Amino acid sequence: MGKITYSNLGKKPLSTASLVKVQASYDEGRKQLRQMKDEEGRPLNIMPNLLVVPPALDDVARTFITAERLDDGKANIYKGTAEVLVVP
């Protein structure tokens, strides 16, 4: 069996515009991390709780981690799921 590579670096930009956009970016990265397994195929049971972003995404990241509602007015189911760490 070949080596599987996992990454939380997605191609979709972080956005607070809608639940669909947050799911396509933030949630997809979380899913990738939760699917990680050890060399013997056992789940690592990783539950991501840190969102690392560059300074340009600080406001966007903090908004969907702390806001009650997203820009489309839908409830933000990702509120409080992580802490934001800004790394230049």
The model carries a pTM of 0.76
> What is the pLDDT tens value at each position of the chain, 88 positions in all?
556 665 556 677 888 888 888 888 888 888 888 888 888 989 999 888 999 999 999 999 999 899 999 999 999 999 999 999 999 9
DSSP per-residue letters across 36-76: -B-TTS-B------EEEE-GGGHHHHHHHHH-SB-TTS-B-
Tokens of 62: 């903090």
